[in-house]
Chain A
Amino acid sequence: MTNSAEGSGDKAEHNEETPVERHAEHQEDLGFWRKYIFSTDHKVIGLQYAFTSMFFLLFGFSLMMLMRWQLAFPGEALPIIGKLFGEANMPDGVMDPQFYNQLGAMHGTIMVFLGIVPLAVGAFGNFVVPLQIGAPDMAFPKLNMASYWALFTGGIIMLVSFILPGGAAKSGWTSYTPLAVIETTGQTFWLLGMIFLITSSLLGAINFITTIIQMRAKGLTFMRLPFFVWVQFITAFLLLLAFPPLEAAGVLQLMDRLAGTSFFLPSGLVVSGEVLNVSGGGSPLLWQHLFWFLAHPEVYVLILPAMGIVAEIISNNTRKPIWGYKSMVYSLIFLGFMSFIVWAHHMFITGMGTMMSAFFQTTTMIISVPSVIILSALFISLWGGSIRFTTPMLFALGFLPMFGIGGLTGLPLGLAPTDIHLHDTYYVIGHFHYIVAPGTILALFAGVYYWFPKITGRKMSDVLGKIHFWGTIVFMNGVFMPMFIQGLAGVSRRLYDGGQLYDIAQPVLEWNVFMSVSAWLLGVAQIPFLINLFGSIKKGKKVSANPWEATTMEWTAAPSPPIPHGNFPVVPTAYRGPYEYSVPGSSSGFIPQDQEN
């Protein structure tokens, strides 16, 4: 590990021209495996997470693009590539209903557990948190490596399940019982894969919390932490305490499938006209409770890191401290706590009594308060700032209204009377996609553009970035806005033909083609991003260590890219809060966190 990062970058460039030589050199380099594959350096692991999760985001998105063909043109053969999926899945290029169900279930699973969480927490958290708190690495580097490889294994299991007889899991990402229990082998793989992914998240969470509590630089008190570190801290607690009940539920469902138990199978269950030969005595609702006990905090796992990224970028590009830092932090803690006691608002139509409905409606309304405080604080932070419209800032600004739409459309779903009408319609799909797709994913793009110079020492192209931004935000709205219209009309989700058979769907059916075309164009809009991302690694404009003139320590105390092990040439000390921009009397207009006066 003697090379400086810059040195290895130059070497890579040189090797690009002569691939044969590179191969030879890697064979000689005994340290290759430890350095790039089984690395314990948080920065390398962060990049491993980043590439893995971006692959899965693209993969999960492709599944959706396939589904959109079937929704827009039900029963028509998919031209050119349709036959590639095999006779079982797409006979003569026409999608089989079971294949559609696989795509739906795996789209959800992959996007949530293998796409957004590993990118938001695994990649950004790993790369940025130790640098922002002035730590040489994570508290447990080997555990960090183990959590990446657990994720990788889980991902491989999920991918392999597509080629099983009967295909991948097809009971939705929620895997509701009893349907999931009587499904084909794909569901067993789904459960095994989930157990790996959960283990990965648990190990990661332990590591993050320990790192943030134990490894903060001297002088970096909790109220001086950058907001991004705070969100990672709370997110790790959500993962740590919400995931185990789902792991328990996963084990119980595995027992149901493999050992013939009936944890989730009620007595006298009838399948295809015959009474199922099981002991019974189980409860399908038990699965829903355990699942949503995780999955509601999971929603906040998806959104909180996005808020953290946006807070960093807004403060940096308005050249102002974020407005109401303390109230944001307290809101964040309150939000994390409340997210554990709202879960049954997903279950209003399971026959829940009025007392519990009233309880969960109330908590759901209460949890919107801290979210609104954070969002408002971010909006107010813009007030009176001299905003720099850099590419990351555009994405961060895009996040604000998109998350606002997602949040506000959630209110009718949190109230039982309206939820009974809207439950399981496209309205729900529209709502949570506004949170995680135009919301979280825009913020994640912002993070990529923002921290790219940190990782490579080069900047991504602004022209391509702006094309990417406008394409993404326009087509994302094209995909998801019509879902509200369809949902309000009463069109159910998970319909294989997009609702063709239903009278209520007829007036809103034409939106299906519009949404599908938007989705495919959204795919096209990602091409500039990919070109930009991979092109800029070698061809991007070289920049200084602190190109955004930021105040947080990852920029001010470490070179860009940081040195391989240890991160900092000199161990930094924090003397002030994280966002001291536009300080009166300072010559440069901003004071780094590690600058004494």
Chain B
Amino acid sequence: MEIPYTTTVRPDTGVYNAKLGVWLFLASEVMLFGGLFSAYIFLRVGAPEWPGMIAGHMFERSSDILNVPIGTFNTMVLIASSVTMVLSWASLMMKNFSKYKLYMGLTILFGFIFLIVKAFEYSDKFSHHFYPSESAFLAIYFTLTGLHGLHVIGGIIVNLYFWGPGSKMWKTQPKRFTNRIEIAGLYWHFVDIVWIFLFPTIYLL
């Protein structure tokens, strides 16, 4: 038994199954982060000050607690990883497998850099006794960036697989493999977009 349209596109819809599937998944992810963002807005409009009192100190601006330069650096890292991701797909389209390996490797590397920087940020907060339980602001900060971080980890695992053992498929089914990189890319770009919204709303406002 063959499932139709796993590699080729269905003529009347113009897409293959996995592409539609991953976009549907991303639509649900939009709603997931939408729920989290609406929680953030809901709590924020209800708060007398934001970020407010944390561990006995009054904070007027988020940038007094969070490190904006580091956040900016991480934003750049994630944007760069998005570019290398799309370039890795473009390399496959141009049948250049070694370039694919390079760009995908860079994407994974940037992903790791993002996580390591994030880990330093977290431990810095913990060392100041800034825990999620301390205030609504910190609760939002840790939960939203934490869930985003989990998405980054998920993306890295997928990318690692396609960089390593999964890339064998290039030899047998190049078209299908290119499709797989495309949809892995769609997910990775989505994670990037989430961060593009998280960064200003949490760090800057």
**Within 8 Å by CB, do A and B touch in the complex?**
yes
User: Does A140 touch B at the CB level, under 8 Å?
Assistant: yes
Across the interface, A240 reaches (CB within 8 A) one of B1, B24, B35, B134, namely B24
5 A-B pairs with CB atoms under 8 Å apart are A240-B28, A244-B28, A244-B30, A260-B132, A263-B139
User: Do residues B39 and A249 form an inter-chain contact, with CB atoms below 8 A?
Assistant: yes
Stretch in contact with the other chain, from B13-21, B112-120, B154-162, B170-178: B13-21
User: Does B52 touch A at the CB level, under 8 Å?
Assistant: yes
User: Does B109 touch A at the CB level, under 8 Å?
Assistant: no
Contact with A along B105-145 (1 / 0, CB 8 A): 00000000000000000000000000111111001001100
User: Does B34 touch A at the CB level, under 8 Å?
Assistant: yes
Stretch in contact with the other chain, from A150-158, A274-282, A417-425: A274-282
9 A-B pairs with least C-beta separation: A248-B35, A260-B133, A245-B35, A281-B136, A244-B32, A261-B139, A244-B31, A566-B1, A565-B1
User: Do residues B43 and A210 form an inter-chain contact, with CB atoms below 8 A?
Assistant: no
Tell me the bound Cα distance from A242 to B131 in angstroms: 31
Tell me the bound Cα distance from A267 to B38 in angstroms: 20
User: Do residues B10 and A206 form an inter-chain contact, with CB atoms below 8 A?
Assistant: no
User: Do residues B28 and A245 form an inter-chain contact, with CB atoms below 8 A?
Assistant: no
User: Do residues A286 and B43 form an inter-chain contact, with CB atoms below 8 A?
Assistant: yes
User: Does B147 touch A at the CB level, under 8 Å?
Assistant: yes
Tell me the bound Cα distance from A262 to B20 in angstroms: 38
User: Does B36 touch A at the CB level, under 8 Å?
Assistant: yes
Chain B residues, CB < 8 A from A252: 36, 39, 143
Q: A243-B28, A283-B46 are in contact. Are A248 and B36 (CB under 8 A)?
A: yes
Interface hits, A235-263 → B, CB 8 Å: 240-249, 251-252, 255, 259-263
User: Do residues B21 and A210 form an inter-chain contact, with CB atoms below 8 A?
Assistant: yes
Across the interface, B139 reaches (CB within 8 A) one of A141, A255, A290, A565, namely A255
User: Do residues B43 and A263 form an inter-chain contact, with CB atoms below 8 A?
Assistant: yes
User: Do residues A206 and B42 form an inter-chain contact, with CB atoms below 8 A?
Assistant: no
Q: A136-B2, A279-B135 are in contact. Are A214 and B34 (CB under 8 A)?
A: no
User: Do residues B132 and A261 form an inter-chain contact, with CB atoms below 8 A?
Assistant: yes
Across the interface, B32 reaches (CB within 8 A) one of A139, A245, A279, A281, namely A245
User: Do residues B28 and A251 form an inter-chain contact, with CB atoms below 8 A?
Assistant: no
User: Do residues B28 and A202 form an inter-chain contact, with CB atoms below 8 A?
Assistant: yes
Tell me the bound Cα distance from A247 to B3 in angstroms: 31
Shortest distance in angstroms between A216's beta carbon and chain B's nearest beta carbon? 9
Tell me the bound Cα distance from A135 to B4 in angstroms: 9
User: Do residues A215 and B132 form an inter-chain contact, with CB atoms below 8 A?
Assistant: no
Across the interface, A260 reaches (CB within 8 A) one of B3, B20, B131, namely B131
User: Does A205 touch B at the CB level, under 8 Å?
Assistant: yes
Tell me the bound Cα distance from A240 to B21 in angstroms: 11
User: Does B47 touch A at the CB level, under 8 Å?
Assistant: yes
User: Do residues A255 and B143 form an inter-chain contact, with CB atoms below 8 A?
Assistant: yes
Interface hits, A266-305 → B, CB 8 Å: 278-283, 286, 289-290, 293
Q: A252-B39, A263-B139 are in contact. Are A241 and B132 (CB under 8 A)?
A: no
Chain B residues, CB < 8 A from A281: 43, 46-47, 52, 135-136
User: Does B27 touch A at the CB level, under 8 Å?
Assistant: yes
User: Does A197 touch B at the CB level, under 8 Å?
Assistant: no
Shortest distance in angstroms between B198's beta carbon and chain A's nearest beta carbon? 14
Tell me the bound Cα distance from A255 to B143 in angstroms: 8
User: Does B59 touch A at the CB level, under 8 Å?
Assistant: no
User: Do residues A139 and B3 form an inter-chain contact, with CB atoms below 8 A?
Assistant: yes
| Interface SS of A by simple majority | helix
User: Do residues A249 and B42 form an inter-chain contact, with CB atoms below 8 A?
Assistant: no
Q: How many B residues, CB 8 Å from partner?
A: 41
Q: How many A residues, CB 8 Å from partner?
A: 46
Across the interface, A241 reaches (CB within 8 A) one of B5, B28, B39, namely B28
User: Do residues B136 and A279 form an inter-chain contact, with CB atoms below 8 A?
Assistant: yes
User: Do residues A209 and B24 form an inter-chain contact, with CB atoms below 8 A?
Assistant: yes
Chain B residues, CB < 8 A from A213: 13, 20
Tell me the bound Cα distance from A477 to B17 in angstroms: 46
Shortest distance in angstroms between A357's beta carbon and chain B's nearest beta carbon? 19
User: Does A137 touch B at the CB level, under 8 Å?
Assistant: yes
User: Do residues A206 and B35 form an inter-chain contact, with CB atoms below 8 A?
Assistant: no
Chain A residues, CB < 8 A from B5: 139, 214-215
Chain A residues, CB < 8 A from B38: 245, 289-290
User: Does B25 touch A at the CB level, under 8 Å?
Assistant: yes
Chain A residue, CB-CB nearest to B31: A244
- Interchain Cβ contacts within 8 Å, total number: 137
Chain A residues, CB < 8 A from B46: 281, 283
Chain B residues, CB < 8 A from A293: 35
Chain A residues, CB < 8 A from B134: 279
Tell me the bound Cα distance from A209 to B15 in angstroms: 13
Shortest distance in angstroms between A311's beta carbon and chain B's nearest beta carbon? 25
Tell me the bound Cα distance from A141 to B6 in angstroms: 12
Interface hits, B61-103 → A, CB 8 Å: none
Q: A286-B39, A286-B42 are in contact. Are A241 and B27 (CB under 8 A)?
A: yes
User: Do residues A244 and B35 form an inter-chain contact, with CB atoms below 8 A?
Assistant: yes
Shortest distance in angstroms between B71's beta carbon and chain A's nearest beta carbon? 21
Shortest distance in angstroms between B96's beta carbon and chain A's nearest beta carbon? 30
User: Do residues A248 and B39 form an inter-chain contact, with CB atoms below 8 A?
Assistant: yes
Tell me the bound Cα distance from A259 to B132 in angstroms: 7
Tell me the bound Cα distance from A205 to B17 in angstroms: 14
Give me 13 other A-B pairs in contact (C-beta within 8 A), A263-B43, A278-B133 excluded: A139-B5, A206-B25, A215-B3, A244-B28, A245-B32, A259-B132, A261-B132, A261-B136, A261-B139, A281-B43, A281-B136, A282-B43, A566-B1
Interface centre among B5, B34, B39, B134 (most CB of A within 10 A): B39
User: Do residues B34 and A245 form an inter-chain contact, with CB atoms below 8 A?
Assistant: yes
Shortest distance in angstroms between A178's beta carbon and chain B's nearest beta carbon? 14
Q: A213-B13, A244-B35, A281-B47 are in contact. Are A251 and B147 (CB under 8 A)?
A: yes
Chain B residues, CB < 8 A from A262: 133, 136, 139
Chain A residues, CB < 8 A from B31: 240-245
Across the interface, B39 reaches (CB within 8 A) one of A215, A244, A260, A290, namely A290
Q: A213-B13, A214-B17, A286-B43 are in contact. Are A141 and B3 (CB under 8 A)?
A: yes
Tell me the bound Cα distance from A259 to B131 in angstroms: 9
Chain B residue, CB-CB nearest to A293: B35
Across the interface, A249 reaches (CB within 8 A) one of B28, B35, B131, namely B35
Tell me the bound Cα distance from A182 to B15 in angstroms: 48
Tell me the bound Cα distance from A255 to B138 in angstroms: 12
Shortest distance in angstroms between A214's beta carbon and chain B's nearest beta carbon? 5
User: Do residues A206 and B2 form an inter-chain contact, with CB atoms below 8 A?
Assistant: no
Interface hits, A192-249 → B, CB 8 Å: 202, 205-207, 209-210, 213-215, 240-249
Tell me the bound Cα distance from A261 to B202 in angstroms: 17
Chain A residues, CB < 8 A from B135: 279, 281
Chain B residue, CB-CB nearest to A221: B12
Tell me the bound Cα distance from A251 to B146 in angstroms: 11
Shortest distance in angstroms between A111's beta carbon and chain B's nearest beta carbon? 24
User: Do residues B10 and A214 form an inter-chain contact, with CB atoms below 8 A?
Assistant: yes
Tell me the bound Cα distance from A283 to B38 in angstroms: 12
Tell me the bound Cα distance from A278 to B10 in angstroms: 55
Chain A residue, CB-CB nearest to B45: A283
Chain B residue, CB-CB nearest to A254: B143
